[in-house]
Amino acid sequence: MSEITNLLLLLLVLINLYLLSATRLSTSIKFLAAQGVVLAVLPLSLHGLHFSIHTILIPLITLVIKGIMIPNMLFKAIREIEIDRENDPYVGQTASLLCGGLFIIISFWVSERLVLPLGVTSRIWVPVALSSVMMGLFLLITRRKAITQVMGYLVLENGIYAFALALVQKMPYLIEMGVLLDVFIAVFIMGIMLNHIKETFEDFDVEHLTKLRD
Amino acid sequence: MILLLVILPLLAGALLFMVRRPAWNPFVLCATALIHLVITFSFWTNEPDPAFNDWLALDALGLLFLSILSFIFMLAAIYAVGYLKEEKRLHETDVQRPHLFYASLLFFLATMSLVTLSQHLGLLWVAVEATTLASAPLIFHHRTHEALEATWKYLVICSVGIALALLGIFFLGTAIKAEQGSLILSDMLQYGVTLDTYWVRAAFIFLIIGYGTKMGLAPMHTWLPDAHSEAPSPASALLSGVLLNCAFLAILRGYQVLSAAGQAMFAQHILLLFGLLSLGLAAAFLLNQTDYKRMLAYSSVEHMGILALGMGLGPGAAFFVLLHSLNHSLAKSMLFLTSGNILLAFKSKKIHSITGLVRALPWSGFLWISGFLAITGTPPFAPFVSEFNLLGVAISGHRFVVAGLYLAALVVAFLGMGKSVLSMSQGDSSMAPAGCKEKSVLVAAPLILFLLLLLLGVHIPEVLSGKIMAAARLLGGVQ
């Protein structure tokens, strides 16, 4: 089973790297949806196919929220927008990709020095989660479009979620559902605000949002 | 019984959200706030039973913060009803969907109550994130460009910050080695010594960055001045007066776990660092403020710095830290409510466009000046007692550098705020629009807070100091 787990974890990182180098918003959303699906399947690869809340209900909810509903909301937000591209981000695509590689190296270096939690079957689990968190933060800081910031937040959250899966035994499923619900409502409200930004400024550039300062 | 504190405002909010009858809004809001207040204070004598396998329980710390929340919410609710009515009349703005504001206020109350009641650290996180979501519509209330910007920053920065706190909680989960361990606070404290040191330390760093973002600690405070100045004044009073406390409570829960794991010193060093940073940065920004609501917001950053610094001084300061969080809530809510009266009359948030406040609005002018004196720690008001005693703890612990920096920041903040408050209060009142009157309900709420600040400055009733002492004991305060 651990080979499948490793493969899935690797997929998570590859999607992150793609998001760092992507220019088309609609493709990015599709890859984000794929990441949601990978996260939903991940616990199955870990526990095998037996019936429990952790292996049936949580993956199902993850699939619906992260794989379907959130990407749908993002697609709705970019509809009617003419420019489907992330134009001149603060850090260019190639440089972003290099930074992504650097984050992976740092994550592995840090993880080597940590005492791994009990029951973690894959050695790359923790570094994958940590590097996702870093790449999410990086996307948030270096992109100009409000919608890409939401995607950065989601990549970050997915990284944290991947870490949580590693210690799923200690997390009650009600809390996991609460976390999923919070993220869902957060993206829902951000989606509403995205629509307001779009109506007011006719695009998503956060440069419009720099009026308030000291 | 404690479940009612969350469910009641949740249902009341849902009711307003769905019924959409403007006449219902004020009544449902105030009635819910009153019932919430009565239930909360009934817990002062009858300790409630835990619910949901100890996931929800009310300990002394939770009770203290819940009481502050419930009391200030009551006043803010009454004020909000009068404020929105006056705003509609004076500014002739027709706010779309007013029920959304009322419903969000009630959701906000529900989620903050859940923060004070959560004993499971995961649930606590869910509750803190939910407070962000419930309060975002409050900030967006006026639907201007500025409100849009403030709401966007608030949503993104706080959600990201709090996401990092979630990672911190998972690190704590990783640190658990004991078989019976769980993320319930009592279990964490009981098996504290068995926690893995490295993971616990890493967890605390993420917790303080995450919840510190919400609490407004520098350098993660950037959303705070925008959000607190763009929100309508009753909402600002709640954001500053009670929401920051809720985030502080979440950090204190982390501190409790670290203490149990024998890492209290590590936590204190980090708290001290963030405390000094916030104090210094806020003092610098207070010197040259042009917007009086932003000035109040930076003052909140300063006081959150004082709270973090106080915890950094060690358990001996715990009592005064908790007392100060109460005092800050009272004083800052009073100032934000008063700022609402000024904004209604003058229609400007700029300091230089307001003069002759005392003559134009005698009550609000008086409250504005006394609020300034209270928040800057001038006797005889209550914050003086807590700020002065914190200085005493620092000096008796031979931390002279910390004490010196702390004192310097307080003086700079006093000068910076004093300059602005005086220039607003004095002078001729010709800039005041003609015929502005102060509604009694808009004066009553801050006036009650003023009287309380005066009373607590002179004498702290035994029943209150007993409750604070009990809460301080949970933080290792030796009394």
Question: What is the DSSP secondary-structure string of B22-49?
Answer: TTHHHHHHHHHHHHHHHHHHHTTTSPPP
Whether A170 maps to a domain, the answer reads yes
> For residue A102, what are the β-bridge partners?
none
Q: Is any Cβ of chain A less than 8 angstroms from the Cβ of B469?
A: no
User: Chain B within 8 Å of A155 (Cβ-Cβ)?
Assistant: no
On whether residue B299 sits in a domain, the answer given is yes
* CB-based contact B152 A114, cutoff 8 Å: no
d(CA B402, CA B400): 5
Cα–Cα distance measured from residue B7 to residue A210, given in angstroms and rounded to the nearest whole number: 39
Tell whether B140 is within 8 A of chain A (Cβ).
Answer: yes
Q: Between chains, do A179 and B125 touch, taking CB under 8 Å as contact?
A: yes
> Of B339, B329, B336, B334, which Cα lies nearest the Cα of B307?
B329
What does each of the 214 residues of chain A score in pLDDT, given as a tens digit? 578 888 999 999 999 999 999 888 889 999 999 999 999 988 888 766 666 766 788 889 999 999 999 999 999 888 867 667 766 788 888 899 999 999 999 999 988 887 776 666 677 888 999 999 999 999 999 988 888 899 999 999 999 999 888 776 667 788 888 888 899 999 999 988 988 888 888 778 888 888 887 7
- Least Cα separation, residue A137 to chain B (angstroms): 8
Whether the full predicted model's pTM is greater than 0.90, yes or no, is yes
Domain of residue A183, residue span: 2-208
Work out how many domains chain A is built from and give that number: 1
Residue A98: CA count within 13 A, CB half-sphere: 5
Q: What angle in degrees, to the nearest 10, is found between the helix axes of B223-230 and B145-175? A: 130
Q: Cβ contact (<8 Å) for B155 and A193?
A: yes
How far, in Å, CA of B231 to CA of B293, rounded? 10
Write the ipTM.
Answer: 0.93
With a CB-CB cutoff of 8 Å, which residues 111-130 of chain B face chain A? 120, 122-123, 125-126, 129-130
How many structural domains does chain B have?
1
Structural domain contains residue A119: yes
Per the domain annotation, does B31 fall within a domain? no
**Which two three-digit tokens encode residue B99?**
């029920």
pLDDT in tens, B64-122: 999 999 999 999 999 999 999 888 887 766 666 788 999 999 999 999 999 999 999 99
Q: Which residue of B has its CA nearest to A178?
A: B126
Helices (H) and strands (E) in chain B, counts: 20, 0
In terms of residue numbers, what domain contains B373?
Answer: 277-479
* Any domain includes B311: yes
Flag if B196 and A179 touch (Cβ within 8 Å): no
DSSP string, A100-127: HHHHHHHHHHHHHTSPPPTT---TTHHH
B363 interfaces chain A, CB cutoff of 8 Å:
no
Asked if A115 lies within 8 A of B198 by C-beta distance, the reply is yes
* Residue B256 located in a structural domain: no
Q: Is residue A11 part of a domain?
A: yes
Domain assignment present for residue B439? The answer is yes
* pLDDT tens across the length of chain B (479 residues): 889 999 999 999 999 999 888 888 999 999 999 999 999 999 999 888 888 888 999 999 999 999 999 999 999 999 999 999 888 887 766 666 788 999 999 999 999 999 999 999 999 999 999 999 999 999 999 888 899 999 999 999 999 999 999 999 999 988 887 777 788 999 899 988 888 888 899 999 999 999 999 999 989 999 999 999 999 999 999 999 999 999 999 999 999 999 999 999 999 999 999 999 999 999 999 998 999 999 999 999 999 999 999 999 999 899 999 999 999 999 999 999 999 999 988 888 999 888 888 888 899 999 999 999 999 999 899 999 999 999 999 999 999 999 999 999 999 999 999 999 999 998 777 666 766 678 888 999 999 999 999 999 999 999 999 999 999 999 987 65
Domain presence at residue A61: yes
Q: Do B176 and A157 touch (CB under 8 A)?
A: no
